[in-house]
A and B are shown apart, each in its own frame.
Chain A
């Protein structure tokens, strides 16, 4: 993409060729009204209010692309008339009860009506009955809907659920006179608007989606609102606390909207979560899982003294990665001072994976971020149940497929209908568990630059190829000449006699041909379709930016070291930009800050995890700790950025910093350690209060700072182990993954996220078995056994049974040996 300069309202601006005029204008602080356009999604062209004049021609700023030397006027007399007419049309039959609308005060219809100055109405049409619908977690009021289709666009282009569509409204057509009397575009817009409302694609009246609520967030009016927030509070009463979501490693920027609980209770309460939906999309856990705070905690001095005793007695600190960088730093400092062993298995495996990766790649961190994936047009995902491991990675995948005309390969044993439904250009390869190496070798084979790749790997890859002769049946049309006897009148004699006539016709005929084709044994090892290479050739057309997402399945794989090296080779010798999904919220931060041990000692203090003495933000331990939404601090995200988060709710108890101070450290607040993070490679010495937290109009994320990827010393050793073809689990398999919207015990503690914990089976697996939803089953592996009820999960397919990790009471982790898959027997009890 080259830079071009265009002129908008006399201002020379430089933008990329092919950028939409609207985005170019916004990036340069030039205002063009627009309702239906969503940054990062494809233009909808529903509102038509972004009309501008480009080189004397009226175009829509949201879908007209910038060309060198373009001259743009954002407003002319005709455009003003169009905009005025459009806003009048939107106000036709729109209810005037703004007082009881949840959007009032932040409503784009209110804003634009006032801005355009609509003080009288010229148009009218009889309305149809537009009763409201309760769609489950969302409430839709078609009477308020202006059918800008932003919800449909967000669901299709960003989220990938494709749950919403426009359906027919019925009712009177517009008065024919308007076609003559109205401005052209506003009539066309009204004509379309008057025929449609929003409906569900599944044909029922209840949403069956991944419940992210993004459609309600983008709704400019009060048509789509979250049922949990409806009529709870006016927007202007709420105070926004900028924060970073603490549920997964995506580290989305959110704001907690807080207000006093009620007339009688002045304590602050979180009413909802908002986001900058033009630049960041939340998942259901981020949006609805906000009330996980540790409530009504007071300073329990007895417990605090016991905690100090426990710290003096302990030789190990166990913790999870749902902590801030500062807390991780405190733990590290305590470790250095008192020689504790720090134990965090999941961060340890990620740390090991990263260092194995660095040994080949020469960089301490993977090279890319989710924004790069979103802007690429070919994505390969290996080793992650993408929609639940990191919903933002899923959105990046879907956005690349839909808006960049992208294609993708999704390698994962667990069949996922959500991923399959994103696009027809995504190929899911549901290989056997433990075959991740084969998948990576295939990626090397398909994409790596063989001229640079180490020769032994090239040779090894070549060993999978053979030519085979296959019989291809083709249908060809053949000319067939037949001799037909006909009765004809002999002209000379006048008698009828039999003559032979030649007739030709085209007849389809099947021909078998023997052709020599390349046979790649890697494909059959992974159980891929025979015609994959043809599909692949189609997918690869016009692709130039490649991105690879790898996930937690690889970190705990028995051959994780080899996988890390293969991943590094893919990044090094192909065009792929690499991104790794850290397992939990701050796994990346912990992996960088802490020196972790493999095994625990004799007496352990646990932070949010089981141990001899438990500090818990969940409110069930020996000493209470604040949850992430009650803390100031920084979290390290998948995008390698250190994001600040603020305390949305007050917390009255002791914090880890209080314990550290009592043990001889000295810091007034936990965030005093933010600047000290600079002593760790990759982090910067920046004070918490200096960290920025916003998006620019150009969509640039200015939050905290980016981790520096340091170059590490590498040996020239790029050896990788060959595939052990015996690897691969068959039979009944369990997989550790959470249902959509659940991550940890913190999400389980929230009131709005009501996913049942249990043994998740797909509809087809349940139908094939003799089990029913609700049955109590015992799941038994070589490592352990648990008993729980079956939950039917419509968001998975295939025969693999999924066990959640968000419910620590289930203790599903004890069933596997690190690697997330295991053979298991499932018996009804």
Chain B
């Protein structure tokens, strides 16, 4: 079937609905946020429309730079952990029978039905001194006495990876299932070990998918604000936690908006950079 390029405005019709939705639910709110980020904060009150840079000035300090840096580092770590875990898992999953695959996928989807609050509290119980996993280790004799494994960076990372892993698998799954099985067979016939074939054939063949998945998980993890609060110490709080504090508890909308705009810009910048590097790599 040959695709005709659109001739009249009516041919663009199907695009109007998504474009409208994007306008109403993304462009307008984001525009409002940018506008508010320049408003004048009224201490002890709300804000008045103005055009000032003081909200951005307040953000540009070593303190907030550190928090931003930690948030980005945390999101990158979560993304890498998720992909490293999900890639072999999804590959093995794709080689199971249809029936087993469905059971696994339903199980993974059910994790998505858990709210962040439930995930946070469940992990805080699992990692607690009084009722947590370390009690099992004591029973087996590996530990002298139970220890608290939270709040800590490891706990935050564990909670966030747990939350993002189902998404990662669901994004990787279609690409891996569609992958030509003869590629791996050829590698095997040519004498490659299964692990070698996995790294030398499967991973390069899926390079774009892996990149896209990393970016998706990174952005997903960047917005997390509940798990770092429940499972981490204050030094593990992400920028999103501080944005929430400003918006909800300090009613300082202009400063919260400025931080959010900054976070979005940095994120977009990093994504663009990643894509650029990826494209250069392809050309080479």
Does A pair with B? no
